[in-house]
Structure 1
Amino acid sequence: MTFLKARGAMVAALALALAACSQGGSIQSPGATFVGDPPGGTGGGGTGGSGSGATCPQGTVIGTAIGTTTVCNVTGEILTNLTLPRIAGVAYRLSGRVDVGRDLGATGNAATGVAATLTIEPGVTVFGDEATDVLIVNRGSRINAVGTPSQPIVFTGKEDIAGTAIPETTNRLWGGVILLGRAPIRGCSTAVAQGSVDCQNAVEGITAATGRQALYGGATTTDSSGTMRYVQIRYPGEFLSSAAAGDDLNGLTLGGIGSGTDISFLQVHNSGDDGIEVFGGTTNLKNIVITGALDDGLDFDEGWTGAVQFLVIKQTANAGGPDRLFEGSNRAVASLAGTLNTNPVIANFTAVGVRTNSAGANLQGIVLNNTGGTPGAAGRFVNGVVTGTNTCAVASTANTSPGVRYDSLMFDCPGSLDSVAAAAFSAGSNNVSAVATSLSASLLPGPNELARTATNPAPINSFFEATDYVGAFSPAATATSNWASGWTIQLLPPAACPVGTSEQGTLAGQRNCVITGVIGSGTVPTNLRLTAGNVYQISGRVDVGFDRGAALNAGTAASLTIDPGVRVYGSSSADVLIVNRGSQIFINGTAQAPVIFTSRNDIAGTQTDKARASREWAGLIVLGAAPIRGCSTAVAQGSADCQNAVEGITAATGRQALYGGATPADNSGRITFLQIRYPGAFLTSAAAGDDLNGLTLGGVGSATEISNVQVHNSGDDGIEIFGGTVNLRNWVVTGALDDSLDFDEGWTGKAQFGIVLQALTASGGPDRMIEGSNRTVASLAGTLNTNPIIANFTFVGVPQNDASAGLTGIILNNTGGTPGGSARLLNGVVTGSTTCLNFETANTSPAPQLDSILSSCAGGYGAVATARLNAGSNNSTGTTATLANRFINGSAEAARPAVNARSIDTFFVTTSYIGAVRDAADLWWASWTCGLAAGSTC
């Protein structure tokens, strides 16, 4: 408890000193997961400004961007219902003390009170930057923060958003989350009866922090403060004044919370004080993870009589802590005598401590004391494992009402129990301390735990589920398949290959996990997660789900989630990953730990000429149900019946892979911080021309998020887009042997911040930097034409390919359809090719639009391209590019007037410059790409 002890020194300075270290690769699964726009991301398109360009929702105010993450501030009192929606590129800041509602008092009818509900959508990130940045849900109000396993809600610190937090050691970045309710408490602030409606108290620290009390307590046992489910609270507990004052906040503080509140699947990570502290009330907790707390893991006091089931507490030797795994007290403050005593029931827990803290003090596991009140705290502990601390349990001699009870506990600590704890241990059933723990991965049951006799907790409390094992995890749990999988961080190290993959030896010192067939079929689970610590082989054609059709009402949906730092590889043209219509992929890379799709040769280090390597495996294909133009049958363009088979797949595997439909906002998932290296192998032969692309997007919808993607040395196009409405941000194509960005069949999406660097990597390439077409195939006539908007790009080509053919930078043609492909191009730099721009005469519906384009090529321009340049604004063909380090704006680029792309579409980030990279300080590309930064190789 913060009023009992002074804290040690913070480690913020250490965290900053180590910020250059890789953070993402150390997060194992259950490990880093998507958290809105992931902490650790640097965004794109420069620093400061308006971030991602997203609009802040009503009830929030635009703040100072972090990189290009848009910050929406939440301030003051929330006195009407407020929703924080999931918006790509947005994080919400708690700016100072934020109150949900105004205290309605113990009876819920205070004249000055106001009830409100704060709703937070799955995947949202909320952060603070100071100790006073704290969220308080007052009595009578509610929080509705319900995430999902793949999109938990994350409360964190600013450094986490900026990418400088270190998951192992960072802490005390901001205040914390406080819920206050009207359930009975013991610690009344005045001389009234314990547990009565008049018994209330002010939550610790808030008066000192903000000058206004935040009260809890009452007589409503079933009071509800809302729901928190699939939530992470990272790096809270900063000092409100100083370490000496001991007034750092907890990760989650629960004051007088009632049993109507749902708190489950919640993690507190690296809190500067307690992980969770409970002051009275009747609240129950389930599926709770507390990691790295600098004080106690779970601290409870003031008459808490709730229950906890499935609890993990894992200490780490952070500076300044930790202290106890559990601490229970029973302070009375000014209360009259009463019978409301601290006495929770805690079942199925695994608590792993450290022997001593940084001050050299011996640490204890379960401590039940009488600090601040007599009798001391009581509690019943069932089906638990305690290990790692010097002493497993300590109980005060005053713990007599109702006393301490232990059943089916496994203690493994070198120190002796004190007399009260020893007596309870002997009096209980099925307790053992003479057998060492055999936990695998530090937390999962091993043979010694499985041999223990459990107590069924269901008859003890109706809140509990029936179990027949000790510890937090069942005998069936694995490091990649357990109730904590996917939504927690820094919990379990990498273990065996995930269920649905097969282990086949090792590659480059890591376990090799093979993926085959269809995800969601047979032994492959519907939701497959590729966890960090292994390498993954795509063996043959691997499908995510079975095609659900244009109406998304057939087949079987599945999902593939890939953790930060994971490497996935193929070995031949047959090795391709296809995400089918109605299924989703979640590639959750970070700036420090991008996901890498590559070849076996690359991982094994067997490429003979790395700079020219390409065509070593097939590629990634994502298919959706958004409208397309190129229907395979005579139906209306863009209709639900308009679909097509993605090129090459029939020849490769004998089974079509279809795309297209009538759902513009179709969602195929999220791809962020991804490298795709050396794809585009020929499916049959070079003569057939059926090599695949690095990233193929067929009919992908606008709800799909794709950002921070690099395709390197593709044997065909880098990125090819067939229709749909998908948008791209922060995209890089290097060394493509055909076109770098190829689009067709009615693509009407947007793209911003694109870098293209061509190279003579192998015979036969490269070709164009952009090719836009508009084929119709068998479609009926229609008006769905290819016409994306592409802003802030820097394209650096080569004059000719290996066949000595002069190359064109951007070509918009009418191959396969009339009118030809069109586009609106803004704020671009095109240089290096023989000809910068060449448009077909049929590009008339709509005509291409060009504004603020600096094109610097030796060859002439076609008549249509020249006309379009002259029709636009601020275009130049007579200015020589002055790019530094190949793609960073120089003086000529900086002098060009730019168009505010944000005024054209809200997808775009506001910029005041042309090109993809404003200047040498604009580093959106630097940490997650290969071959761009000095000294970086692919």
Structure 2
Amino acid sequence: DATTTKGVDATAEVGDIIYGGSNDADDSGSIDYLIINYAGAQINSESQYNGLTLYAVGSETSISNVAILNGTDDGVEFFGGTVSASNFYMENNQDDAIDWTEGWNGTLTDAYVLHTEAGFSTAVEADGDNGNPSLVNLTAVSTQGGTALQFKKESGATITGLSLTGYDTSIDYRDGGAVTNVTIDGETSNPELTYEGPATVSASMFEWATGNSASQSAVLTGSVSSSVTLDAATTYFLNGSLSVEDGASLTIPAGTLIVADVEAGEETSTYIVVQKGGQIFIEGTAANPVVMTSSGETPGDWGGLVIAGDATTTKGVDATAEVGDIIYGGSNDADDSGSIDYLIINYAGAQINSESQYNGLTLYAVGSETSISNVAILNGTDDGVEFFGGTVSASNFYMENNQDDAIDWTEGWNGTLTDAYVLHTEAGFSTAVEADGDNGNPSLVNLTAVSTQGGTALQFKKESGATIT
């Protein structure tokens, strides 16, 4: 009995059902933990049933934990109304996974859409008058390309927490649809953006519906523009770069595994970067560290972890890094880029270009309020960790068989590295420690370096120096 642009006592295409009124708080009951499978039969020669069809349903109706699978039409369609819903899983519905029309203006929270079969229409289709409904945390994944979101006529939405993976088209506007009718994470929608990024809804939430108790997997790529937390039950495959933007944060819980895909050719753009103003929180434990590795398990496969901060560097303010034209450096020596605890980085050191390589962990002007402890960097073809200026301190570092320098700094870094162990068992490395450029007089407290291959332990270039105890 809620409102719809079709008016009061409208007639549905299904069975001449009467719906619609003036009571936006209408209560049609409650739904919790429902699986709908194999719907989508023909109503008539022109129309099909959806999995779940909601005609002018009111806001006092409660709908949560619904899975709609293998339908030949839409998963769920809202015809006007004010009802909100949450925790929806839609898999292989052949028309639209989520559809609305007639001015629906509720909220759908925590929805996961999966397309593994070709021929579907969209993950989301909206049509007709714009009731400006909200989508909060929508993750849509396609292995078949296709279109993710389609807005027709005056329709629109306010979307936060959008993650798209595998679609050819992120947003399509039809029949006069306007980009300004849709806002995504506070900005006007932009069909030029892919909206790729970490999943904002985990498929593991819906094990009750899918029956899949095995480890889930997801693709990491694109950008993080809000606060995103990964799921330790999911194996993440890094495809290209993942960028945590200014004002955003990425939290990686204990036990999370991130596997970097190996790009063809000598150079790679596969790495994780925290931009200046962004934050990363790696929350590993000794028993369950966070692991970043590569699919090829070969030194030099990928670009490791890069963090850009706002602390001082001899390169000045808003310097440009050799990695991805990242901007770093400022005047805030107490800058906070987050925290890292119990992290393993393996097989980094790929080529940036013909002149340069990535390190395992690269710290550009990172500030002193950033916390970094219990890090192992193994089997890299360039440096283990390199500090480009900044004031950050770190502790409990283990570096094994990094082929250039295990520990490197330049641009006047002046933090402290406490309790570091370096091991070289393979020939051809450069040094255990290399320092270059202006002397910020950083401190090394308790450094043990062991080589079975001879070589050089410490190397200081130009004005560089340190206080070592």
By the TM > 0.5 criterion, same fold?
Answer: yes
Q: Residue 290 of structure 2 aligns with which residue?
A: 595
Q: Could you tell me the percent identity over the aligned residues?
A: 32
Q: Residue 353 of structure 2 aligns with which residue?
A: 684
TM alignment of 1:625-640, pairs within 5 A: 625-631=310-316
- AA partner of residue 538 (structure 1): L
Instruction: State the alpha-carbon separation in 2 of the partners of residues 558 and 810 from structure 1.
Output: 38
Q: Residue 218 of structure 2 aligns with which residue?
A: 513
Q: Residue 614 of structure 1 aligns with which residue?
A: 299
- AA partner of residue 751 (structure 1): L
Q: Which runs of 5+ in 2 are unaligned?
A: 1-26, 37-50, 67-83, 90-107, 111-138, 142-160, 168-213
Instruction: State the alpha-carbon separation in 2 of the partners of residues 451 and 567 from structure 1.
Output: 39
| Maintained 8 Å contact 1:700/1:725 | yes
| Maintained 8 Å contact 1:452/1:469 | no
Structure 1 or 2: more strand by fraction: 2
| Maintained 8 Å contact 1:674/1:710 | yes
Structure 1 length normalisation: TM-score? 0.29
How far apart are 1:569 and its partner, in Å?
2.2
CA shift in 2, pair 1:724/1:470, >3 Å: same
| Maintained 8 Å contact 2:350/2:358 | yes
Structure 1 or 2: more helix by fraction: 1
Instruction: State the alpha-carbon separation in 1 of the partners of residues 417 and 88 from structure 2.
Output: 41
Q: Residue 420 of structure 1 aligns with which residue?
A: none
Aligned pair partner of 2:231 in 531, 539, 562: 531
How far apart are 1:698 and its partner, in Å?
0.4
TM alignment of 1:704-715, pairs within 5 A: 704-715=370-381
Q: Does 1:562 align with 2:252?
A: yes
Give the secondary structure class of the aligned counterpart of 1:709. Answer: strand
CA shift in 2, pair 1:595/1:467, >3 Å: farther
Give the secondary structure class of the aligned counterpart of 1:540. Answer: strand
Instruction: State the alpha-carbon separation in 2 of the partners of residues 567 and 702 from structure 1.
Output: 27
Q: Residue 793 of structure 1 aligns with which residue?
A: 447
Q: Does 1:750 align with 2:346?
A: no
Q: Which whole-Å deviations, capped at 9, do the CAs of 1:374-416 have from their partners, x for residues lacking one?
A: xxxxxxxxxxxxxxxxxxxxxxxxxxxxxxxxxxxxxxxxxxx
How far apart are 1:810 and its partner, in Å?
1.6
Tell me how large the CA RMSD over aligned residues is. 3.4
TM alignment of 1:317-336, pairs within 5 A: none
| Maintained 8 Å contact 1:450/1:475 | no
Give the secondary structure class of the aligned counterpart of 2:374. Answer: strand
| Maintained 8 Å contact 1:514/1:539 | yes
Q: Residue 469 of structure 1 aligns with which residue?
A: 62
Q: Which whole-Å deviations, capped at 9, do the CAs of 1:338-396 have from their partners, x for residues lacking one?
A: xxxxxxxxxxxxxxxxxxxxxxxxxxxxxxxxxxxxxxxxxxxxxxxxxxxxxxxxxxx
Give the secondary structure class of the aligned counterpart of 1:512. Answer: strand
Q: Residue 431 of structure 2 aligns with which residue?
A: 768
Q: Does 1:646 align with 2:351?
A: no
Instruction: State the alpha-carbon separation in 2 of the partners of residues 541 and 591 from structure 1.
Output: 27
| Maintained 8 Å contact 1:739/1:766 | yes
| Maintained 8 Å contact 2:64/2:87 | no
Give the secondary structure class of the aligned counterpart of 1:810. Answer: strand
CA shift in 2, pair 1:436/1:664, >3 Å: closer
How far apart are 1:744 and its partner, in Å?
1.0
How far apart are 1:717 and its partner, in Å?
0.1
Q: Which runs of 5+ in 1 are unaligned?
A: 1-428, 441-448, 457-465, 484-494, 521-525, 546-555, 603-612, 632-641, 651-655, 776-784, 801-806, 815-819, 827-938
Aligned pair partner of 1:823 in 451, 466, 469: 466
CA shift in 2, pair 1:567/1:501, >3 Å: farther
TM alignment of 1:137-536, pairs within 5 A: 437-438=33-34, 467-470=60-63, 475-477=85-87, 499-500=162-163, 502=165, 510-520=215-225, 526-536=226-236
Aligned pair partner of 2:367 in 685, 695, 701: 701
Give the secondary structure class of the aligned counterpart of 2:459. Answer: strand
Structure possessing the higher radius of gyration over alpha carbons: 1
- AA partner of residue 281 (structure 2): F
| Maintained 8 Å contact 1:557/1:582 | yes
- AA partner of residue 468 (structure 1): T
Q: Which has the higher contact order (CA 8 A, sep 6+)?
A: 1
How far apart are 1:482 and its partner, in Å?
6.1
| Maintained 8 Å contact 1:453/1:469 | no
| Maintained 8 Å contact 2:259/2:295 | yes
How far apart are 1:822 and its partner, in Å?
1.3
How far apart are 1:622 and its partner, in Å?
0.2
Q: Which whole-Å deviations, capped at 9, do the CAs of 1:555-575 have from their partners, x for residues lacking one?
A: x42211212211112223220
Instruction: State the alpha-carbon separation in 1 of the partners of residues 426 and 283 from structure 2.
Output: 32
- Aligned pairs, how many? 297
CA shift in 2, pair 1:751/1:439, >3 Å: farther
- AA partner of residue 813 (structure 1): K
How far apart are 1:724 and its partner, in Å?
0.4
CA shift in 2, pair 1:567/1:769, >3 Å: same
How far apart are 1:512 and its partner, in Å?
3.5
